Structure 1
Amino acid sequence: MNFRELNIFLSVCEYGSMSEAAKHLYMTQPAISQAISELEEEYNVKLFDRIGKKLVLTHAGEILRDYGKKINLLLFETKNTLQDISDSRAGKLKLGASRTYGTYLLPKMIGNFLKLYTNVELPFCINNTAEIVNMILNSEIDLGIVEGPIHSDSIESRHLLDDELYLICSKKHHWTKKKIIQMDDLSKADFIIREAGSGTREVFENTMKSNNIEYNIKLELNSIEAIKKAVEANLGVSVISKLALSEELKSSKLIKIEIEGIKFTRKFNIIYHKDKYLSELHKKFIDFLCSVK
């Protein structure tokens, strides 16, 4: 049985005769009769009793009619759903973001996007850059938002925004007595820094190495909030995205320190697998992220 045969059968049910069904389907009556006969032969059942000039559904015919209506309804819903996805009115994107963007920017961005596309699903996870890249490579997520270099030829990226890491310390730290510190001061500090695999960690290490500065890592923590609390307790200093520091700097719980001749800068990028098909929903979400600065 195919959709053509099913719809011919349903038309005969609706109009009560093969001749009427033939008129509405722009077919000949013998073609209608042949389709019904083929259905009956295929399943070895009678679908209609021919009583005089009337066609009366058999029990098998009633069952096929009821299922046929359900099948057509599901097909209609399927077509509408696929059309909604094509028009970006519905759909699902699995997102991943590194900790800074995922914590401080992504939830708000998703909330604003869902105001425009109310039937879209945007589940997301937060991890370090290396793990988000692995999730893209393993097709566990559709799009990622990360900072720092990408070490895979299978990843495509699009620049999203620029960021700067601020050197911060406690208000009790002796650096607060200086307007600006020198590079040599960094080599004497105890750093509290993100774990290996973090984009923040890579930017910090690359900047220090490019300036030939030795550094001491006292603590490794995988939580930005934990690092801020440790620095506030004067356990060491750190470099953290300016995106994560607005409240602490405003309240003077943490102090931003300027360094002579050095800035820790990086870029946030949207990443996806190079073989990934980008639907209209993918494109609209990427354009939306890039449009909000």
Structure 2
Amino acid sequence: MVSKLDLYKVFCTVGKSESFSQAAKDMYMTQPAVSQAIRQLEKELEIRLFNRTPKGVTLTHDGLLLFEYANSALNLLRIGEEKMVESKNLMAGELRIGVGDTISRYFLLPYLEAFHNSYPQIKFKIFNGTTLELSALLKSGEVDIIICNFPLNDPALELRPCLEIQDIFVCGEKYKSRLTKPLTLTEVAAFPSILLEPKSISRKYVEDYLLTKGIKISPEFELGSHDLLLEFAKINLGIACVTKEFSQEYLTKGLVYEVPLVEEIPQRNIGACSLKSVPLSSAATKFIEMIENQEI
């Protein structure tokens, strides 16, 4: 008798390959057996899961909805099985980390190097994306932990702050000559501004803080990376809001200049996140400990 779990495994394999014959090859089954499994699942659920076409199959609307949940569940089951057999002394295993490009470059790299030197048998898989995209990967079981910008309000996640960071404004030579005294945040908002794209947690944090002061900032430029913020400020396209800790090279070399403020934006954190409902693997636990203890 075919179990319900086996039916969902067949369903997800067909959904990924969009082909009964390819799914049969991937699962070492016959094509009639795959077709029978899908028919059985459709009968039990009383919905049609696939549109049949001469070129293969595609998920129906209901099928797509079910696939998102079933695939996430199977991923979590796979993770559980892997963690059961993972060596407790970190002699084998895999660590999947979600992290943004900027945090990866300016914060995470030394920890990756230190961990790899200590535990070379552990394989890394790094996934890049925005904080919200990475949170979705974490919930679907596709990554073990994410390293991202805080604040992040999600009751499903365990948050571990690791590094305090300071949001500042920077400018190029042209605007520096016009700054004869520390500026209020209202005065800063009057300059042409350069911000990260709206879905960025960093931008939302700064904008929300300014709104508490009754200040709304309308950017001239919205960019997808922290490095571009610095480059745009360097060539005098406006005043950019950046993370001070990630801008030290530009500030030290005099490529950009920190705008003096009457009132600083409150500090926030970068940290590690994991699912509260899923125990961390030995590798993930050790990696987070290295970050928290600054073992580099």
With the length of structure 2 as denominator, give the TM-score of the two structures: 0.67
Counterpart residue identity of residue 224, structure 2: N
- Structure 2 match to 1:112: 114
Once the two structures are superposed, residues 182-240 of structure 1 have per-residue CA deviations (whole angstroms, 9 ceiling, x without a partner) of 23312311211111221211121112112211212111111111121111111111111
- Structure 2 match to 1:138: 140
Cα distance in structure 2, aligned partners of 1:266 and 1:175: 30
Counterpart residue identity of residue 236, structure 1: G
Cα distance in structure 1, aligned partners of 2:118 and 2:172: 42
Cα distance in structure 2, aligned partners of 1:235 and 1:110: 35
Cα distance in structure 2, aligned partners of 1:96 and 1:176: 41
Once the two structures are superposed, residues 75-105 of structure 1 have per-residue CA deviations (whole angstroms, 9 ceiling, x without a partner) of xxxxxx9877221122111001133312212
- Long gaps (5+) in structure 2: 1-82
- Structure 2 match to 1:255: 257
Q: Secondary structure of 1:119's partner?
A: coil
Moved over 4 A (4+): 81-84
The answer to whether the Cα contact below 8 Å between 2:134 and 2:146 also exists between their aligned partners in 1 is: yes
Cα distance in structure 2, aligned partners of 1:264 and 1:176: 25
Q: Secondary structure of 2:151's partner?
A: coil
Once the 2 structures are TM-superposed, how far is the Cα of residue 175 of structure 1 from its aligned partner?
5.8
Residues 170 and 264 of structure 1: is their aligned pair in 2 closer, same or farther, counting only changes over 3 Å? farther
Structure possessing the higher radius of gyration over alpha carbons = 1
Give aligned-pair identity as a percent: 20
Q: Secondary structure of 1:217's partner?
A: coil
Q: Secondary structure of 2:93's partner?
A: strand
- Long gaps (5+) in structure 1: 1-80
Once the 2 structures are TM-superposed, how far is the Cα of residue 252 of structure 1 from its aligned partner?
0.6
Once the two structures are superposed, residues 231-251 of structure 1 have per-residue CA deviations (whole angstroms, 9 ceiling, x without a partner) of 111111111112221111111
Counterpart residue identity of residue 241, structure 2: V
Q: Tell whether 2:184 aligns with 1:171.
A: no
The answer to whether the Cα contact below 8 Å between 2:185 and 2:210 also exists between their aligned partners in 1 is: no
Cα distance in structure 1, aligned partners of 2:292 and 2:199: 25
Counterpart residue identity of residue 195, structure 2: I
Q: Secondary structure of 2:267's partner?
A: strand
- Structure 2 match to 1:66: none
Cα distance in structure 2, aligned partners of 1:283 and 1:247: 32
The answer to whether the Cα contact below 8 Å between 1:148 and 1:202 also exists between their aligned partners in 2 is: no
Once the two structures are superposed, residues 140-181 of structure 1 have per-residue CA deviations (whole angstroms, 9 ceiling, x without a partner) of 211001112223221111111111012101121156532411
Counterpart residue identity of residue 282, structure 2: E
Q: Secondary structure of 2:183's partner?
A: coil
Cα distance in structure 1, aligned partners of 2:180 and 2:107: 32
The answer to whether the Cα contact below 8 Å between 2:102 and 2:225 also exists between their aligned partners in 1 is: no
Cα distance in structure 2, aligned partners of 1:209 and 1:248: 29
Structure 1 vs Structure 2 CA RMSD: 2.0
- Structure 2 match to 1:206: 208
**1:143-222 → structure 2 map (5 Å cutoff):** 143-174=145-176, 177-222=179-224
